[in-house]
Structure 1
Amino acid sequence: MSTQTTAIRFPCGGCAGPMVFDTESQNLKCQYCGAEQTIDNVMEQPKEHPFNVEDEDLAELHDWGTEQQAIHCESCGGETLIPAGQTTTVCVFCGSPKVLPQDNVSSIRPESVIPFQISRDKALSSFAAWKRKRWFLPSEFKKRNVDSQLNSIYIPYWTYDTDTYSVYSAEVGIYHYRTVTRTRVVNGKTETYQDTERYTVWHSTQGDYDRAFDDILIPASGHYDTELLEKLGDFNLSELHAYKPEYLSGYISERYSVNREQGWEEAQEYADNRLESEIKEEIGGDEIRNLNIRTSYNDITYKHLLLPVWNANYTYKSRPYYYMVNGQTGTVSGHVPRSATKITLFTLLCIGIVGAIVLLFMNMNQQ
């Protein structure tokens, strides 16, 4: 659980203590008496919202079920959303104590959420197992337990659906082969020989291509390393639950810094790349040049998701490092220190192996 003081949004019916979401039981659990309360997690079909919806129609999408307040970190710029009345003393991203409440928390609420299934202890165990498998780590670091500042946080994502229609034109090259006569000098004498020559025959092509995209997943966090998020992203979206504020009880959610328009730009770039790859496959041939694709995007819809992540920072020899653990699957991505000695020895070994192979071939050619 995060380092924060929990406001009592869901009081226990027995002792009136605060109930928070428990990863083991997937229920609300009282922090004092241990009583549990079931969350009605019957999955409703997530609602897709038209992308071009007018601003006044968005008002109903800002109801998170409980009043929220935004917290801004002066050190790293990260912003999180926590329930009104709840306090936090450090930034969940960088650990800085320079956190200040913000006034404006007008953020679109999520349509659905994957609740945390990995506890803090399991997240630490996952990282310990992960780092033992890394190459080139300092031996001392590899063996010891890392003192991590670990925080649970829901990271925001957008998903986009769209129907596309593309028209394309291109030149397609087909390889052909012919036998040609060539000359060469062998032992001072000129001789002729037959060789196979490849040449390309080009022709024009054009066509159209229909493609529907469902749930293009785009991180709405501008705070994390994109590569680390991609490595972490084996979320099983079939386990999405309809958003309920109970799932966030005792946890922090990040305020999205990539808005829905920026998210759509990334989604469109993803779709364009997929379309180009698939259209090239449909065209076929051995080479393609002057490919021109014009695509129209129709019926664009979006939704906002929250996905669970354990975010950690630690220090090794006065240098900061970061890692994340997928709160659903336990997958780890992160940065770790490297041993210059191990890297140097490995490089010298590779150079030695390559040198031995080169000498072997030279000896064989001289025989």
Structure 2
Amino acid sequence: MEEALKQAAPATFPCSGCGGAMTFDSESQALKCPYCGKEEAIAASDFEPVEHDLDTDFGEGEEDSSLTDWGVKQQTIHCESCGGETIIPALQTAAACVFCGSPKVLAQGDRASIRPETVIPFRVSENEAVESFRKWKKKRWFVPNEFKRGNVRSKLTGIYIPYWTYDSETSSDYTAERGDYHYRTVTKTRTVNGKTETYTEQERYTVWHWVHGDYDRSFDDILIPASGQYDSELLEKLGNFELSELTGYKPEYLSGFIAERYSIDRSQGWERAQERIEDTLRSEIRSEIGGDEIRGLSIRTSYYDRTYKHILLPVWNANYSYKNRPYRYMVNGQTGLVSGHVPRSAVKITFFTLFCLALAALAFYLYIQYGSE
């Protein structure tokens, strides 16, 4: 198993000094030989990210061969346990899944897959990722103290996660009923200490009227994970990538790392992007309508100038166990941001719950005693 986890890459980029296989080094942003330390610069790319037309571009399964050339011969590895698919050099052997650690992986041969045109290379090293997780777990509230203080043994794997980005112009028509609060003074009576007294108070009522309008909005670089191997919560929390640092794809950046093959295609990705767009439009249109209440909101949106990009973004993936239970965390390979699952302390959660209940009981007691006065 240890040999399988090494994932030793073939000498695709041989060192000119000792002949060893050079891998990408996040610190120097160059190829580096792990044996003699020799570094070799990667030629700067002047490639500008290209937005492809989502409406008129070729359909799924009809990929342009120029967009499926990864620069080195590839093979797809499929995990029978979690369904994860990674793309590795054809000569590389893999007997364990980089996602779940399962040994049940099968070579799928050379499957056509859109090659990303741009990539953000790793800038956070493995040691820096471990340190980021150590600091992050110390800030968690409801984790056992033993876990906070102790060292977590985990195997980190550098993975380039596939993403889609989408741009779109939108034009929306909307109708709704807007409700505005008004107040009037009303006279009432009440009995105090056996005596009837008259008093006044402000009574609220709502005035409704129909509204309609147009709303135009541009959306740029909506980031959608094309990976189906992680829960969306973890990936969403890693989404602070600086896309301005995208650079042209070069196979050198993948040397020593794993690239995941997208499992969410462009049309599926667009459906998710469209959901985000609609949520944003609904929120912004509600703000534009204003008022105190809104009911019967109906929005009809037209989309045009829809474009997409396929990119690779760097993530450190780690699986670890605590008291025989498995957990996972990920670290943004560009910024060092951490997202993960941690064990919970039943004792801390119980004390916190009792404290909240005590506060609620105290508030209720004070309301009963003084709220009616």
Q: TM-score, length-normalised on structure 1?
A: 0.94
Relative to structure 1, is the Cα distance of residues 194 and 61 closer, same or farther in structure 2, using a 3 angstrom cutoff? Answer: same
Is 1:347 aligned to 2:353, yes or no? yes
Within the alignment, does 1:27 sit opposite 2:30 as a pair?
yes
The counterpart of 1:224, out of the listed 230, 237, 244, is 230
The answer for the alignment partner of 1:204 in structure 2 is 210
The answer to whether the Cα contact below 8 Å between 1:114 and 1:328 also exists between their aligned partners in 2 is yes
User: In the TM superposition, what is the alpha-carbon distance from 1:263 to its structure 2 partner?
Assistant: 0.2
Deviation at 1:139, TM superposition (A): 2.3
Flag the 1:326–1:365 CA change in 2: closer, same or farther, 3 A: closer
Q: For residue 9 of structure 1, what is the amino acid of its counterpart?
A: T
**SS at 1:87 equivalent:** coil
CA RMSD of aligned residues (A): 1.9
2:52 to 49, 52, 55: 49
SS at match of 1:97: coil
- Which of 235, 246, 253 lines up with 2:252 in the alignment? 246
Percent identity (aligned): 64
Judge conservation of contact 2:173–2:301 (CA < 8 Å) in 1: yes
Q: Tell me if structure 2 keeps the 8 A contact 1:179–1:197.
A: yes
* Contact 1:314/1:320 (8 A) holds in 2: yes
Note the alpha carbon deviations across 1:319-344, whole angstroms, 9 max, x for none: 11111111111111111111212222
| Segment drifting more, 152-161 vs 175-184 | 175-184
**Structure 2 vs 1, CA of residues 79 and 196 (structure 1 numbering), >3 Å: closer, same or farther?**
same
Q: Report the Cα offset of residue 191 of structure 1.
A: 2.5
Counterpart position of 2:105: 99
8 A contact 1:3–1:151 mirrored in 2: no
Match of 2:322 in 1: 316
Q: Equivalents in 2 of 1:229, 1:149: separation in Å? A: 19
1:21-66 CA-partner distances (Å, limit 9, x unpaired): 0011000112222211111233422011111312446332111111
Cα offsets for 1:140-194 (capped at 9, x unmatched): 2222211102111011100001111111111111221111112222223332221
Q: Which runs of 5+ in 1 are unaligned?
A: none
Q: 1:277 to 1:364 in 2, by over 3 A?
A: closer
Contact 2:74 2:110 in 1 (8 A): no
* Aligned CA distance change for structure 1 residues 351 and 148 (closer, same or farther; 3 Å): same
1:36 lines up with 2:56 in the alignment = no
Is there any run of 5+ residues in structure 2 with no aligned partner, and where? none
Deviation, structure 1 residue 198: 1.4
Distance apart, 1:117 and its partner CA: 0.9
Q: What is the one-letter code of the residue matched to 1:16?
A: G
Superposed displacement of residue 252, structure 1: 0.3
The amino acid across from 2:227 in the alignment is: S
> In the TM superposition, what whole-angstrom CA distance separates every residue of 1:336-366 from its partner, at most 9, and x where no partner exists?
1112122222323333344445555656679
Q: Is the 8 A contact 2:120 2:245 kept in 1?
A: yes
Secondary structure in 1 aligned to 2:133? helix
**Helix, strand or coil for the counterpart of 1:140?**
helix
SS at match of 2:355: helix
Paired residue for 1:151? Answer: 157
Counterpart position of 1:85: 91
TM-score of the aligned structures, taking structure 2 as reference length:
0.93
Q: Mark the CA change 1:354 to 1:291 in structure 2 (over 3 Å): closer, same or farther.
A: closer
Mapped contact 2:173–2:214 kept (Cα < 8 A): yes
Q: How does 1:55-204 map to 2 (within 5 A)?
A: 55=59, 56=62, 58-204=64-210
Task: Give 2:8's aligned residue.
Answer: 5
Return the alpha-carbon distance in structure 2 between the equivalents of residues 261 and 9 of structure 1.
34
SS of equivalent to 1:141? helix
Residues in 2 aligned to 1:276 and 1:189: alpha-carbon distance in whole angstroms: 53
The offset of 1:80, in angstroms, is 0.7
For 1:347 and 1:362, the matched residues in 2 are separated by 23
Q: Which residue identity lines up with residue 109 of structure 1 in the other structure?
A: R
* Stretch deviating more after TM superposition (253-262 or 87-96): 87-96
**Alpha-carbon contact 1:3-1:90 (below 8 Å) kept:** no
Matched, 1:281 2:298: no
Q: Whole-Å Cα distance in 2 between the matches of residues 363 and 57 of structure 1?
A: 73
Which stretches of structure 1, 4 residues or longer, exceed 4 Å deviation after superposition?
356-367
For 1:331 and 1:3, locate their aligned partners in 2 and report how far apart those are by CA, in whole Å. Answer: 25
Q: Is the partner of 1:184 in helix, strand or coil?
A: strand
> Structure 1 residue 267 and structure 2 residue 273: aligned?
yes
Deviates more, 1:83-92 or 1:146-155: 83-92
Aligned residue pair count: 366
